[in-house]
Structure 1
């Protein structure tokens, strides 16, 4: 689940600083690097709220906060947690990548005695982690007989890196390739089909992975993918040039204005309230370099959609105002895959796997499992 996205690119009011001296710019930008303190969570002890309010810029602090909240998270009143299949095996570990960063990894396997049908590798969205809502989603897919594997991208969740700072979008894809390649070598996955699964910004990462290694996967599942930015949302050209310049000077600065988009993510208000417990998500202003990299990534993917050749399942809420469903239609029409399916869910918002009513959430999950089942013949 993404907690901030394309609508934060509307920054016409930030033109003023670019006309001032470098000293004035520095004064304007520098305070924006300060972290935003999280609002208290209702019904949570003062001690836990104090833990959740600390600066999460670096991974050690995020790991401590997650450890303090993990039991509470797994017992929340949400269908993904309350109706989790029995006996799902999980494993968490860290892998040091080629840049020396510790990357958080997790897998969910069917209960003992159930043969694994295929490997499903997940890429999470902007600001998010694979340890909160996706924990419940993964258990549902594992309960259908699949081995589900995921990472927190560098700078996100429990992995090393400045929180939600993307110095290079290609690096996110390259790191995912590195980690998923290691996972493919696990003995339980020998000779099994391999599928990529990306949600929102994670959909862009999954597409990048496929474009970098087109023969390495057996299929691609995309949920509300971020693969093209609407012209109505993109900053004006002059503003964009100024942003690019500023991102080279102050890459970590938080300049994009923060907006409360929670009502656009989750249609079910009771599930929207549970987002407060996603305590290691990034819920602050978008960093300058991150914003530029997201724009560049979508532009690059848009120019290469005619190279998308894998069996393709695209799922999107028809009422999504975060990533436009017409973008999924664009991807569906332009891809050269001979096996492609587009499902639009009437009335669905951005988080169709977490934020709809129970019945609609399980409809989407069942659609994913059914698609996997017909394409999971062992190699």
Structure 2
């Protein structure tokens, strides 16, 4: 499957036209729908999303993803996320659009990195009949209390200024497979920068604090990379421990980097197997 096989449309969400991607289905009318959420500075066809989508669409599921505002082909200032509230409510609106369009019997939310935090935030507002899958979720960042105060102050006066250095822009720290790493580096829709906007950095911090305070009640799968240096796994571990749902699973992958679906084989085979097995058991 190539990106030419994926149908994309623009839908009005709030003040922006967002790009929604429909991955090809292997059955005429799938009754199960999966909506994927991408990470910061990525988009709905980025390798960390695309490869997860390809694995899932082979299971007779309808798989969709979208570009957040300021990301990919969607409208908005490049790389700018105005607030945690705006990001979550935008995601809720997209989720409702997809649910109303397809009326699925089973519905799954899948999020990678920051997309994991967003998927979690959506699940706190909308009933999820299938489950919530978090891939290396951004639920805790290495930002001190003092740094958070400074960041909030800067965001109040210079929200769009791009000056915050970030490891999240480094492909070498995220993707093990050389070909997929190169694919990420060559992606024309990803900003080529080593800094991020002040307001976006503050939004990421506030988003992790907001969503990690409430554990989901839907079936939960968390996949963690043991060598992740982009997010701190302690946040996901706390969420898992606090989740009161009887159906919850956490899997760790020694040697894995942040971009789990961009690992090399045989580790990638295990990650894909665990993802498919968990979903199939809940159809």
TM-score by length of 1: 0.69
Paired residues, what number? 280
Unaligned runs of 5+ in 1: 1-72, 75-80, 82-87
- 1:170·1:208 contact (CA, 8 Å) conserved in 2? no
Superimposed CA distance per residue, residues 273-322 of structure 1 (whole angstroms, 9 cap, x where no aligned partner) = 332221211342111111111111112223323xx211000011112121
- Is structure 2 residue 121 aligned with structure 1 residue 208? yes
Q: How does 1:52-71 map to 2 (within 5 A)?
A: none
- 2:46·2:184 contact (CA, 8 Å) conserved in 1? no
* 1:241 Cα offset (Å): 2.6
Task: Specify which of 218, 234, 252 is matched with residue 310 of structure 1.
Answer: 218
Higher helix share: 1
Tell me what 2:181 maps to. Answer: 272
* 1:346 Cα offset (Å): 1.4
TM-score by length of 2: 0.91
- 2:22·2:65 contact (CA, 8 Å) conserved in 1? yes
* 1:217 Cα offset (Å): 4.0
Going from structure 1 to structure 2, the CA distance change for 1:304 and 1:137 (only over 3 Å counts) comes to: closer
Tell me what 2:209 maps to. Answer: 299
Going from structure 1 to structure 2, the CA distance change for 1:228 and 1:276 (only over 3 Å counts) comes to: closer
* 1:181 Cα offset (Å): 1.2
- Is structure 2 residue 21 aligned with structure 1 residue 95? no
Distance of 1:140 and 1:244 partners within structure 2 = 39
Higher strand share: 2
Superimposed CA distance per residue, residues 146-194 of structure 1 (whole angstroms, 9 cap, x where no aligned partner) = 11111101111110000111111221221121122111223xx444200
Tell me what 1:255 maps to. Answer: 163
Give the CA RMSD over aligned residues.
2.2
Unaligned runs of 5+ in 2: none
Task: Specify which of 103, 117, 122 is matched with residue 36 of structure 2.
Answer: 122
- 1:196·1:217 contact (CA, 8 Å) conserved in 2? no
- 2:19·2:66 contact (CA, 8 Å) conserved in 1? yes
Going from structure 1 to structure 2, the CA distance change for 1:315 and 1:281 (only over 3 Å counts) comes to: same
- 2:139·2:232 contact (CA, 8 Å) conserved in 1? no
What SS is found at the alignment partner of 1:358? Answer: coil
Superimposed CA distance per residue, residues 231-287 of structure 1 (whole angstroms, 9 cap, x where no aligned partner) = xx21451x4333322211111001212556322201233432332221211342111
- 2:163·2:196 contact (CA, 8 Å) conserved in 1? yes
Going from structure 1 to structure 2, the CA distance change for 1:302 and 1:156 (only over 3 Å counts) comes to: same
Distance of 2:154 and 2:180 partners within structure 1 = 38
